[in-house]
Amino acid sequence: MKTDLLLLTLLYAVAFTAFIGAINARGPARVALSYFLAILTLCAAVFHTSQFLAGGDLMHDDAVVVAPPPLPAPPPPAPEAPPAPDTAALGASKTEAAISEGKNELKGVLEAGRRVARNLTSLNLGAVADISDEEYESLQNRAVSYLSEARRAKDRLTAASAKVPPQLKDAQDQLGKGLDALVTAAYNAERFFKSENDTEEKQHAAAFRRGSQEANSTFKKVGTLLGSDDAGD
């Protein structure tokens, strides 16, 4: 564009110079020739000016048409990912909850076994010879009932085994031994009243006492392992 402007300026300067030369010319022929050249130069300048202006408008229109599209907006920033869970803390929490639940299950079974053991101590098998038939029958019925309760406590432990974590395996095994001794004691108490002679009575009474003592001793150990409030009962 700058070159075109320089050329137009040069043409107008030549046309201006030609008119000055025509004004200063002497003789009809020189005057006519000078004015002819001046007018020709001026026409050329005017023609090129119109072309230049037309070309400038066209370029301006084309520039509008071919204007580049606006750049797309940048994508929004990706949301920050939440922090990864603390798997170690979650695992420790689950383990703690499992141990707590397992302790509650074992404590419930332990209390059921202790209750049966306390009831068995009320059976004074050594004094049955001095009681009435009604009292004898009442003791016998109680012995049958305590045997059923001891077996239910054993079944309850078996059902709770699935909820007991490995950390409580020792307490579970000890409780199982205590309940086995309790069932043995209750069974011998029940068989005592069905003895056919004094020898059988003595055998069942001795087995009853051994079972009761073993059950109570084992229950104390289990209470200590589970942190039971009445571990020393």
- pLDDT band at residue 60 using 50, 70 and 90 as cut-offs: very low
Q: Are residues 7 and 118 in the same domain?
A: no
CB atoms within 10 A of CB 32: 12
Stretch among 55-59, 99-103, 170-174 having the lowest mean pLDDT: 55-59
Question: Final residue of a domain: which of 42, 65, 88?
Answer: 65
pLDDT at residue 11, as a whole number: 66
Q: Are residues 115 and 215 in the same domain?
A: yes
Q: Are residues 136 and 217 in the same domain?
A: yes
Alpha-carbon gap, residue 80 to 86, rounded angstroms: 18
Q: Are residues 113 and 199 in the same domain?
A: yes
Average confidence (pLDDT) over 112-121: 95
Q: How many domains does the chain have?
A: 2
Evaluate whether residue 194 is within a structural domain: yes
Evaluate whether residue 144 is within a structural domain: yes
Q: pLDDT for 124-170, tens place per residue?
A: 888 888 889 999 999 999 999 999 999 999 999 999 888 899 999 99
pLDDT at residue 40, as a whole number: 77
Average confidence (pLDDT) over 171-176: 95
Q: Are residues 57 and 111 in the same domain?
A: no
pTM over 0.85: no
pLDDT at residue 44, as a whole number: 75
Q: Report in angstroms the alpha-carbon separations of 19 from 6, 49, 92, 168.
A: 20, 19, 107, 122
- pLDDT band at residue 55 using 50, 70 and 90 as cut-offs: low
Evaluate whether residue 205 is within a structural domain: yes
Q: Give the CATH number for residue 187.
A: 1.20.1420.10
Range of the domain at 42: 2-65
pLDDT at residue 52, as a whole number: 67
Q: pLDDT for 68-99, tens place per residue?
A: 667 777 777 777 777 766 777 777 888 889 99
Q: Are residues 173 and 121 in the same domain?
A: yes
Residue 78 token pair? 């990706």
Question: Final residue of a domain: which of 18, 50, 65?
Answer: 65
Q: Report in angstroms the alpha-carbon separations of 142 from 91, 96, 184, 210.
A: 48, 41, 15, 19
Q: What percent of the chain has pLDDT over 70?
A: 79
Average model confidence (pLDDT) across the chain: 83
Stretch among 7-11, 157-161, 225-229 having the lowest mean pLDDT: 7-11
- Cβ proximity of 223 and 171 under 8 Å: no
Contacts of 12 (CB under 8 A, 6+ apart): 42, 45
Q: Rounded to the nearest 5°, which phi and psi values hold at 149?
A: -65, -40
